[in-house]
A and B are shown apart, each in its own frame.
Chain A
Amino acid sequence: MNVRNILLGCAVALMAASLYLVFLYVPTEATMGVVQRIFYFHVPLAWVAFLAFFIVFAFSIIYLWKRAEKWDVIASASAEVGTVFTTLFLATGSIWARPVWGVWWTWDPRLTSALILWIIYIAYHLVRTHADGGSRGPRFAAVVGIVGFIDVPIVALAITLWRTQHPGPAIFQGGLAPSMMLTLMVCLVAFTVLYALFMLLRIAMKNDEREIRRLKLTRS
């Protein structure tokens, strides 16, 4: 049994447990009602997006330092997975905002900085794809990945630095009942495992792409 199958089994089991906890176990929140259950997937999606972009940041630095393609493979794989999770946390946040705030979107510091984060990583992919020359794309993308990471702490701290409509950091201030905290933690682990699984798959594909490029060079 390889690591990929173990991760797949863990991801499926943890997702099933998460859905059970979110829909059958955890009590309905008193103020927002049933729609508050979006929180249990929205927060882990944001956490995984931040983790993914930290990996982009760290491995982009290593790539620029060592100039070995394997580090760029990890950074670019993480950027792709991170973009998927960022899209989802923005979408779920917007759906949650509609019944609670009465709008789909507002230019609140938290939401705006999160949207900027998404745009930065779209730019990462564009720079990578459209820069001319063999290593120029990865090099330019690595710079975007490093500079763009500055936005991650801004998104995370926006709710404490500025007056925002977004709820404050209730998770770290004992604002969650134990059953809610348990549900959130299981969902956090489930999405982290899913991220690890996507990373393994994407890295394997990128290694195949490298092998194809190498064989094409051998042939010509």
Chain B
Amino acid sequence: MENMGYLFAAYTVIWVVVFGYVLSLSNRQNKLKRELESLKETLKEQPPG
């Protein structure tokens, strides 16, 4: 089982980066949704013209 540490390191890097990217996508998506909702609300309240 020589070099097990390198194998562990490689797979750890992959999963940390993949989960980090998923987390970043999720945070950005939530922020966008909130901004979109807030803009729609503001436009609804704004009188036309």
The residue that B25 contacts in the complex, of A98, A194, A201, with Cβ under 8 A, is: A201
What 1/0 mask marks residues of chain B from 1 to 45 whose CB sits below 8 Å from any chain A CB?
A: 111101101110110011001000100110011011001101100
Total number of A-B contacts with CB less than 8 angstroms? 75
Q: Inside 8 A of A37's CB, which chain B residues have their CB?
A: 7
Task: Bin the interface of chain A by size.
Answer: 20 to 34
Give the dominant DSSP class at B's interface.
Answer: helix
Q: Indicate if the CB atoms of A88 and B39 lie closer than 8 Å.
A: no
Q: Inside 8 A of A198's CB, which chain B residues have their CB?
A: 21, 25
Instruction: Give the B interface residue count (CB, 8 A).
Output: 26
Report which A residues bind B (CB closer than 8 A). 33-35, 37-38, 41-42, 45, 84, 87-88, 91-92, 95-96, 98-99, 194, 198, 201-202, 204-205, 208-209, 211-212, 215-216, 218-219
Report which B residues bind A (CB closer than 8 A). 1-4, 6-7, 9-11, 13-14, 17-18, 21, 25, 28-29, 32-33, 35-36, 39-40, 42-43, 46
